[in-house]
Structure 1
Amino acid sequence: MARQKNMQRRRNILRNTFTLLRKNGINNVSLQMIADKSEISKSLLQSYYPHKNKLIIEIVTNFMSTILQILNSDKFQNVNTYAKMKAFIYILLEMGLRDEGISNVLESILKDPDSTEKWGQILDNWLIDEGVKDDLGNDMQLKPGLAFIVSGGANLFLKRQQFEVKAEKISDIMVKTFMTTFLDFPDERVNETLKEGHELIEKFEIDEVFHAVDIMFS
């Protein structure tokens, strides 16, 4: 019973934090604001999450995992892993372009080194779940590659107006760099993957992701 209550309280805290981040962005949300919205004391909040950054990391994990769960559904099981990676990056960034609240959350993530590192870890774990990581080489190739494309993609998104780049262009650059520079795939394979990723994006229902994100802490 106590465990269930703790889980419910954690979900409530995460839901309220996510709501506040969507409205205000990370720099304008304090632990006290989260505690007030959750109708608990700040000290009780800190017994669950001593620092705001721990809350952000958990929200990053849930946010990105929600998108990946949809891409891992049965209807996409025969899609190339790297095409799905392109679609994942596109969906993540496109949500930020379409929704100001998601943009506040996404920019908070992309400006935080711990959060971008978590993004790389999530992709690394996903490659394991997809069953392809053992064929790609060792961590000395993969982890620097993921760290490089995540930080580069984050900078492109944050400067998207300056460079006039859209979500799919950024996802193309990230996946192409990962496949060619770090995994040594031939250009023909890379181009086929980017095309397959585009086709997946074309038929993907992004409203389904918005709905899943809206209820992920319910």
Structure 2
Amino acid sequence: MARQKNWVRRHEILRNTFMLLKKRGMENVSLQMIADKSGISKSLLQSYYPHKNLLITAIVTNFMTAILKSLNSAEFKDLNEYSKMKIFIYLILEQGIQDKGVERVVKSILSDNESLDRWSQILDDWLKKEGVKHDLGNDRQVQIGLSFIVTGGGSLYIKRNELNLDADQISDIMVKTFMSTFLAMDESKINQVLNEAKSVLQEYELTTLTQTINKMFDE
């Protein structure tokens, strides 16, 4: 019973944090604000999450896990893993472009080094789960590559209006850089991956994923 109560309260805290981040952005949300919205004291909140960055990392994990789960849907499940990577990155960025609230969350992720590291780790773990990590070569090189494209892609996203870039172009750059620079794959293979992903995304209803993300802490 105590464990169930603990789990419910954690989800409530995360849901309220997510709502505040959507409304205000990370720099304008304090632990006291999260505690007040959750109806608990700041000290009780800190017994679950001592620092705000731990909350942000938890939000990142849930947000990206919800998107990764969507890759198991009928539209995506039979695709090449690199096409899925392109789609995964695209969906994160496009969610932010389409929804101002989610954009504040995405920008919070991109402005926090621990969250960027967590994004890289989630991709690394996903490649292992897909069963392709061992085929990619040096593990250290793959980790560096993922960290590089996440950080670089995040910078492009933040400056996208200035550079006139959209989510499709940024995700193309990230995946192409990873495949060519860090995995030494040839251009024909890369183009095949990107074209496959684009073709499927043309038929995908983004609102389905939006609903999933908005409800990810409700269960």
- Fold similarity call, TM over 0.5: yes
Q: Which amino acid aligns with 2:28?
A: N
CA distance in 2, matches of 1:138, 1:208: 37
Q: Which amino acid aligns with 1:185?
A: M
Structure 1 stretches of 4+ with a deviation exceeding 2 A read 72-77
Q: Which amino acid aligns with 1:127?
A: L
CA distance in 2, matches of 1:167, 1:36: 35
- Residue correspondence of structure 1 range 161-180 to structure 2 within 5 A: 161-180=161-180
Aligned to 1:120: 120
Aligned to 2:185: 185
Question: Contact 2:75–2:204 (CA<8 Å) still a contact in 1?
Answer: no
Aligned to 1:130: 130
Question: Contact 2:86–2:175 (CA<8 Å) still a contact in 1?
Answer: yes
Shift of 1:208: 0.9
Question: Contact 2:75–2:200 (CA<8 Å) still a contact in 1?
Answer: no
Shift of 1:78: 1.4
2:48 equivalent to 1:28: no
Question: Could you report, residue by residue, the CA deviation over 1:111-145 in whole angstroms, capped at 9, with x for unpaired residues?
Answer: 11111111000000000111111111121210000
Aligned to 1:94: 94
Question: Could you report, residue by residue, the CA deviation over 1:72-128 in whole angstroms, capped at 9, with x for unpaired residues?
Answer: 235422101011111111111011011100000000100111111110000000001
Aligned to 2:204: 204
CA distance in 2, matches of 1:213, 1:48: 22
Using structure 1 for the length normalisation, give the TM-score. Answer: 0.98
- Residue correspondence of structure 1 range 3-14 to structure 2 within 5 A: 3-14=3-14
Aligned to 2:155: 155
Shift of 1:205: 1.7
In percent, how many aligned pairs have the same letter? Answer: 56
CA distance in 1, matches of 2:111, 2:56: 12
Give the number of aligned pairs: 218
Aligned to 2:141: 141
Structure 1: runs of 5 or more not aligned: none
Using structure 2 for the length normalisation, give the TM-score. Answer: 0.98
